[in-house]
Structure 1
Amino acid sequence: MNRPLILVAEDDHSLRQGLIDLLEAENYRVCAAPNGREALELYQRLKPDLLLLDVMMPELSGYDLCREVRRHDSDTLIVMLTAKGEEIDKVVGLELGADDYVTKPFGLHELRARVAAVLRRQRKAPSLVDLSSTFIFGLAKIDRKAFTAEREGRRYKLSSRELTLLETFAAAAGEVLSRNDLLNAAWGVDYFGTTRTLDQHIVQLRKKIEVDPAHPAIIETVHGIGYRYKGQHQTDQISFGSKPE
């Protein structure tokens, strides 16, 4: 099996070199860039397996780079390096399609574990394109192959994580799913993180699914436990083996 290639985009020289040394010691192949523009060029030329992006970089920010990659690539893994205590950094990154984030300052053991966990989840994830192409979720039509949700004439892009959450909810319509259930389904049983990541994904997902995200009627919060998809019709139930209409 080829060793995963990781692109490190970080403008701080000392931190960038430290990340390179850490990842190479874990037997990953590593390429690195001091700014977002060079990182984009490396991504386009080398097609790495994972991007490790600092949010604040000269020429092209981590946000801009994540947005550019996700315009045509939903598979390459992206982990954002965010500022300590800046929750908005995490929310924006997740909304743009990042798979995970690490808050600065971070420990090397945490960074190592998060990178390994994200890569393991990718290897375990089933191919979505082999499933039936569309299904109904609440008032939205979900297109697996296009990674979109269409509701009331508007089309929203979905990240691979958001799509997996929708599939998990639809397969258990009406049932209460714990946060751990949802983390295991969308992030894997070896996820190294907190349920806050899930909650932030749900917030962003509601903006695309709910008529009034501030008062959700489709993905219901069950306090102290998790969430429930309030599917109303038999057609809301997902069929993983069925053929597209």
Structure 2
Amino acid sequence: MALFLLICLVLTARLWSQDDPWDVASLRAIEDSATYAQQVGRADQIGFSLGQQPFIANVLIWDQEGTLLYPTSDGFTPIRYELTALRIKEIETSRASAERPFWAPFDHRATKLLTCLHEANICLIYRRAELEQELGLESDALAKVTEPDRTALLAVMSLAVVITGAALLWGLRPARPAPAAFELIADQFIARRGDLTVELTARDVAILDVLMKRDGAVVTKDDLYNVGWGRDFMPNSRALDQHMINLRQKLDPDKSRPHLIHTVRGIGYRLEV
């Protein structure tokens, strides 16, 4: 029933959707939700799909009774980005309190966007810049969450921002310090984070350079081995993992700054500045 309703929404949205970037994004969200709705109960397949769609950071799926089906706390659930129990509860609360599907910023810089489709009991977390690129939109086209102007499309898609839901989402989230600016100066073998200057090795520079060039996308462990150790090196997961631990320590010696290098379990690493 939910999948049938999603298909109806897709067909109806295609009739109305034109050039508004939120129309395009909403249509894509419905199509992605339909895809993941067919994979319920197959955590490995969901994990594989996430790996093939770098513009989707994560997906959450509930059953009709409100029980979380994905991600789960047990079994093989290869989620690409960790979601804490508190964060999942925030999303669930926002979804339940909203009267209609909505878009909302998922982080304080709106680098990620949250959208929930009640009919399918699915929420998707998109990486905004990569979603814009995937949809062929201009950079920052989705940077500001606003309500679409056309009332006809609003009646069909109901994509206005839910102020109370967004406020609740932010209210439950603990305050985070503003991220320190990050700059890699490769020719000097240093990096700067705010007022912190870090001396780097040639391997540090090579790894950070490829991470930065991916602009937040995941870099696989094999690729990092290639740039850091060379293609003839026999991969040893502990060598790379230990190097990343040391590199994180250099870039945040007093553990007072937001995470810069994120582990993507089973795949590799990504840099978020």
Shorter-chain TM range is 0.3 to 0.5
TM-score (norm 2): 0.31
TM-score (norm 1): 0.33
Greater C-alpha radius of gyration: 2
